[in-house]
Structure 1
Amino acid sequence: MRVPPKLHFLQPDQLKLVSDWKYLAEGSHRRCLLLEAVARDLPRIPSFRLGRRPVPRRPLRVTGSAVHHSVLHNAMVIGRGVVADAEGGLLIDSVSGLGKGADNNLAAHVAAVGLVWRENVLCTPAWCRGPPVAHIREPLFHLLNGRDQNYTHFLFEVLPKLAFRQAMPAPRPRLLVSAAVARSFGWLFSALGVGEDEMLVAPEAGWLRVDEIHVAGEPGWQHQGVMRALRDLVAGETPVDRARIYIRRIGTKAWARPLLNETAVIERLVARGFRIIVPESLPREEQMAVMRSADVIAGVYGGGLLNSLFCPPGTKVLSLTSTGYWRSSLDSAANSLDLRVVEVVGDCFLARHDPNNSAFVLDLDALDAACDALDL
């Protein structure tokens, strides 16, 4: 068995639709519809920019794709985690974002997952044209992603799929993860009740032959049941005495969306009872315990703040962001996870080389107004 030199997209709706786990696993090229497509209006979270008056914002319309659980037998895992059948049909649900990019900048999307787009033809990379580096005969559950070394993208695009694997009847297939995930996020799987013996680390080069692989699409944060199921996997009770926490970013993370007047912001928040934590300075287990103990979590928008996924229902979230980095994820989280979210939007100094991570400054009156809106 070798990877065909030319590949093509295999859409989930080309697979046979079944409604039962048993029948799904018994045949290849089958799928279960896990979640219907959603399109609904979410009220935007309160937002402050200048002074004490909230910024008027239109209701946010959230659209989430239908999510399928698919299975392929005698399959290949190539590139940075793309699943293909023996004829070179790529099951695009396996890599978040690739399907969404099919009509826009496809070359960049396929390059991100280690494939080649040449003269309008999707090709196998040269380093994948030899024999497989391994033949995996046990069932696997696909949990790879081209950008899964980034914690924020991992939380958005990869981790929610775990809820589907946890819903499968025992014995469940092992998780196929990258070396980067096993190295960086093994603590997170442990906190979610997934042991090392339940994971198989994919080789960093070459391709795999797999007898049976399960693939779930990306639910994102729009689907309430998935997000609540993930939160429910986190062990531990909510403490009676809960804290107000400001997450401070240091090192290389401080260069991404740096808050230029952070010292003044911290002074205002400390006066309201916040304590400052630097997640990287704490053991991983303690980081999770901090999230569970929070009554309020504040910080610059990013992976640290998105750990609010693991906070108890009713936790207040103060999101600090900029006009150059407005994202809707916390709007969805507020709806899905019963969080109370307010944001402060600062003026941004756009950097040409990386607009997403440009420096910004917060208006302190707007910060005070946001705190008052959260009853802090």
Structure 2
Amino acid sequence: MYRLFHRDGIPATDDLSSATGAAVQVILPGDAPIARQAPVFFAVDPRVVDTPREHDVRSGATGTTRLAPSFLVALPHGAILTEGFLVADQDNRILSDSFRAFGSLARYGFEEHPDRVFSSALPESAERPGTHLVVGIQTNLNYFHWLLEALPRLWLAQRQGLAADATIWLPPLRPWMDQMLNALPPIGRIATQGDSVTRCERLLMPARGLANIHTFSAHAFAMADDIRDRYATKTRSGRRFFISRSTASSRKLTNEAAVMAIAAEHGFEPIEPQYLSFREQVELFSGADAIAGPLGAGLANAVFMHPGSAFIEIAPEGREGDATLFANLAHHRQLDYFAAVGPTVADDPRPIDRREFAIDVEIMRDLFAQLD
């Protein structure tokens, strides 16, 4: 049986390297909500089901954002539960900071009982000696989440001098994931988490770069700056890119060709980041004056842009938690944010977050005209 607990219940320390009990080190405390900068341009397609709701959620006067705290937790005899990298202490309490949503627990076989007690058939395992560091998350195979949620964990531990002697726990790496990992300082011992339990003599869990689906941690942006400084020159290219989702398996923009043609009139070049190396993506996007594209992981590359660049998001209606994700990113990276929301395809049987959608071309004409 498992219960939940939170890092706030763990004693604070200034030095995790010598901590022998459960301890937490807060590197940056985070901040209170502040007013998010207003979009330079925002429009909702009149065919959207609930136009007032889209305005309120995305560009309302009361819209706020904040940065979550950056911290590291040390657990003696801690455990990594499943390939979802849930973390538990020696008393079988799941650290709530090790996942973003309670749905993650159900996804990995945990059945909820009253009073936030969870059960699972996970077997125990022999304890591994030494210090171990959790890097993996629940959404490793998404470009955005691997870059801005998982890798900042490793970067933070490295900056605090806690990664050199640790075994680094990662998911099986695809080539693009490995390329991104190599943008950070080299690591030594690597281990791959399976679908069971890994008990560790000493387990370190750094904060994710994304505390929830719309709240970033400061160390995610600091890591992005380090990568940009390593891979890209400070010279701006002045180029503009339109990120295509024409080959995506979901959330395609059905009239992307028409929108792209309008963008081309304003100097935008089509680009499909998934066919570029990670280094090439950093180089291109860090020098860009503007990027545009449908909601998708490719927009994560906006994190490498310089302040004052333009970031254009074309989004489908009905988004919930991540409706302000990229607006928040633009705010904290000091980018000029433009957005348009369009209707999803009514007869698409998939969940609303996977459906194809469209956008009124006249709205897009007005939007791109704002750049000139």
**TM-score where L is the length of structure 1:** 0.82
Aligned partner of 1:49 in structure 2 is 44
Residue 159 of structure 1: which of 151, 156, 161 is its match?
151
1:354 to 351, 356, 363: 351
Ranges in structure 1 where 5+ consecutive residues have no aligned partner: 1-5, 102-107
What secondary structure does 1:324 align onto?
coil
- After superposition, residues 280-291 of structure 1 pair within 5 angstroms as 280-291=274-285
Structure 2 residue runs of 5 or longer lacking an equivalent are: 47-54
Q: Which aligned pairs between 1:1-376 and structure 2 lie closer than 5 A? A: 6-18=1-13, 20-22=14-16, 25-34=18-27, 35-36=29-30, 38-45=32-39, 46-50=41-45, 57-59=59-61, 60-62=63-65, 66-79=69-82, 80-97=84-101, 101=102, 108-112=103-107, 114-117=108-111, 119-120=113-114, 121-126=117-122, 128-129=123-124, 131-132=125-126, 135-169=127-161, 172-174=164-166, 176-181=168-173, 183-191=175-183, 193-195=184-186, 197-198=187-188, 200-220=190-210, 222=215, 225-234=218-227, 235=230, 236-251=232-247, 253=248, 255-325=249-319, 327-350=323-346, 351-373=348-370, 375-376=371-372
Against the structure 1 CA distance between its residues 223 and 86, is the aligned structure 2 distance closer, same or farther, given a 3 Å change threshold?
Answer: closer
Structure 1 residue 188: deviation in Å?
1.0
Change (3 A) 1:183 1:92: farther
Deviations 1:142-190 (A, max 9, x none): 2121222222333453334344223303664546343344654111121
Give the conservation status (yes or no) of the 8 Å contact 2:151–2:181: no
Q: Contact (CA 8 Å) 1:94, 1:142: kept in 2 or not?
A: no
Q: Percent identity?
A: 17
Offset of 1:141 from its aligned partner?
A: 2.5
What is the one-letter code of the residue matched to 2:143?
Y
Q: Cα distance, 1:25 vs. partner?
A: 3.8
Letter of the 1:244 partner, please give it.
R
Change (3 A) 1:156 1:171: closer
Kindly provide the amino acid, as one letter, of the partner of residue 109 in structure 1.
S
Inter-CA distance 339–180: structure 2 relative to 1 (3 Å threshold): farther
Query: Which AA in structure 1 matches 2:80?
Result: V
1:111-163 residue CA offsets vs partner (Å, 9 max, x unmatched):
22x2421654422324x24x34xx54332322121222222333453334344
- How far the C-alpha of 1:33 sits from its partner, in A, is 2.8
For residues 239 and 67 of structure 1, the distance between their equivalents in structure 2, rounded to whole angstroms, comes to 31
In structure 2, what residue type is equivalent to 1:70? V
**How much does 1:71 deviate?**
0.5
Contact 2:31 2:68 in 1 (8 A): yes
- AA in 2 matched with 1:27: T
Q: SS at 1:328's partner residue?
A: helix
Q: Answer whether contact 1:144 1:176 (CA < 8 A) is retained.
A: no
Normalised to the residue count of structure 2, the TM-score between the two structures is 0.83
CA distance in 1, matches of 2:162, 2:26: 20
Specify the code of the residue in structure 2 equivalent to 1:334. Answer: A
Q: In 1, are the aligned partners of 2:68 and 2:215 still within 8 Å (CA)?
A: no
Q: Is the 8 A contact 2:24 2:73 kept in 1?
A: yes
Query: Displacement of 1:7 after TM fit?
Result: 1.8
Contact 2:208 2:217 in 1 (8 A): no
The separation in 1 between residues aligned to 2:206 and 2:318, in whole angstroms, is: 32
Distance 1:371 1:30, change over 3 A: same
Residue 280 (structure 1) shift: 2.3
Aligned partners of 2:217, 2:77: CA distance in 1, in Å?
Answer: 34
Distance in 2 (alpha carbons) for counterparts of 1:117 and 1:279 = 39
Take 1:163 and 1:25, find their aligned partners in 2: how far apart are those partners?
20
